[in-house]
Amino acid sequence: MDCRGVFLYNRPMLKIGSLKLESNVLLAPLAGISDSSFRLICREFGVGFTFVEMINARALSYKGKKTKKMLRIDPHDKPIGIQLLGAELPYLIQALEVIESFYDFDLLDFNVACPVRKVCRRGEGAALMKEPEKLEKILKGLIQRWHKPVTVKIRSGWDQDSKNAVQIGKVAEQSGVHAIFIHGRDKNQLYAGSVDYKIIADVKKNVRVPIIASGDIFCAQSAQKMFDETGCDGILVARGALGNPWIFREIDEFLKHKRTLPAPPVSEVIKTLLKHLELSVAEHGEKNGVALMRKFVGWYFKGRPYVRPLRQKVNTVKTKKEFVALIETIPALANQREMC
């Protein structure tokens, strides 16, 4: 048997090199989002593998305090991976030395997918889709230095006229990677437009390492569609988890039993948000923890009739006490427009 995902006793299993995962639904590294508090909340609802935020290798090689803080791992947040961004192998190797000295990650992912303009201008992220020979050298160097599973995250291509994910997938496999993550959009699309399921399926057909697919997984049905349309071995949930850690429980239930779970009641959303707040304050301190949680309020209550005034009010909140007091007014607001 090869190292692809298989279903045993109705439970999804995914092997990435020596790493065996009980679920083939993973949480993506989200810049500015995937701190320890966010990951722990998602763990509560069933995600089996997480990533810390994407890390710039050059910044980490300089041992910056802010970057190192991003790498703190809670003992309950395992197994966990780290995703490095860079284009210069010496800095990437230096970053690995820092990681191995202080942290215990189960997997290393190399980012060839970030579409942000300033990143691509440096020749990093999705810009490496245009330089397969350079990418191959980098991947081989990382695999030689890192003694745990190594993966790569790619896009469908640079633009509509250069959809070269199959070529890059073959380069990655020949370099020795243990799995390929692929977002079904090209660099120019950013996160807009349609996901290209066909090209993910084409990559899957042309390589033997596991393929973990990403793009527009916002509910259990879209997760099932990704599996059905691409034949992928696993999926990577990203924006779909913002304010919605329940998505992992819902995907699991739908994939196993084809049953759609009801949306969580307002009372459960409030309880989860306040626990997220507690974790954020514990991790970052009250001032920074509260500030970071303001944006989550809009995500947790997205689509509800009172979300706009709630977002306006939360932007003035500065303390944990004020935050909690505001959130505790939500049941009264909800009772005016919906059933809890």
- Average pLDDT on 129-141 reads 97
DSSP structural state of residue 93: H
Task: Inform me whether the pLDDT recorded for 280 exceeds 80.
Answer: yes
Say how far apart CA 260 and CA 250 lie, in whole Å.
7
Residue 205 sits in the same domain as residue 275 = no
Domain closes at, from 257, 276, 297: 257
Q: What share of the chain in percent tops pLDDT 70?
A: 94
Residue 77 lies inside a defined structural domain of this protein: yes
Say how far apart CA 252 and CA 234 lie, in whole Å.
12
Say how far apart CA 301 and CA 298 lie, in whole Å.
5
Q: Is 236 helix (H, G, I), strand (E, B) or coil?
A: strand
Residue 112 sits in the same domain as residue 153 = yes
Res 336: pLDDT: 60
Nearest to 49 by CA among 123, 8, 106: 106
The question of whether 219 is a catalytic residue gets the answer no
Retrieve residue 213's tokens. 């697919």
Residue 247 sits in the same domain as residue 279 = no
Q: Positive or negative CA dihedral for 323, 329, 331, 336?
A: negative
Strands of 44-87, DSSP E: 50-51, 55-56, 80-85
Contact predicate 115/190, CB 8 Å? yes
CATH value at residue 214: 3.20.20.70
pLDDT digits (tens, 9 = 90+) for 19-63: 999 999 999 999 999 999 999 999 999 999 999 999 999 988 887
Candidate list 114, 219, 232, 340, residue with the active-site label: 114
Residue 326 belongs to what domain range?
266-337
Mean pLDDT over the full length of the chain: 92
Strands of 105-255, DSSP E: 107-112, 150-157, 179-186, 211-214, 234-237
Res 8: pLDDT: 34
Residue 293 lies inside a defined structural domain of this protein: yes
Residue 200 sits in the same domain as residue 164 = yes
> Vertex 101, ends 95 and 106: CA angle to 5°?
80
Whole-prediction pTM value?
A: 0.92
Residue 179 sits in the same domain as residue 219 = yes
Res 12: pLDDT: 61
Residue 156 sits in the same domain as residue 234 = yes
pLDDT digits (tens, 9 = 90+) for 183-241: 999 999 999 989 999 999 999 999 999 999 999 999 999 999 999 999 999 999 999 99
Contact predicate 267/330, CB 8 Å? no
Residue 244 sits in the same domain as residue 297 = no
Question: 268 CB contacts (<8 Å, ≥6 apart)?
Answer: none
Residue 154 sits in the same domain as residue 58 = yes
Q: Positive or negative CA dihedral for 201, 202, 203, 204?
A: positive
Res 116: pLDDT: 95
Residue 35 lies inside a defined structural domain of this protein: yes
Angle between helices 266-284 and 36-44 (to 10 degrees): 150
CATH value at residue 315: 1.10.1200.80
Domain closes at, from 209, 224, 257: 257
- Average pLDDT on 290-308 reads 94
Residue 230 sits in the same domain as residue 282 = no
Domain closes at, from 226, 257, 288: 257
Contact predicate 96/69, CB 8 Å? no
Say how far apart CA 226 and CA 239 lie, in whole Å.
15
pLDDT band at 289 (very low <50, low <70, confident <90, very high): very high
Task: Inform me whether the pLDDT recorded for 122 exceeds 90.
Answer: yes
Neighbours of 324 (CB within 10 A): 16
Residue 309 sits in the same domain as residue 194 = no
Task: Inform me whether the pLDDT recorded for 10 exceeds 60.
Answer: no
Res 4: pLDDT: 41
Amino acid at 215: G
Res 9: pLDDT: 36
Res 335: pLDDT: 67
Residue 1 lies inside a defined structural domain of this protein: no
For the chain, the domain total comes to 2
Residue 30 has φ and ψ, to the nearest 5°, of -115, 115
Residue 14 sits in the same domain as residue 45 = yes
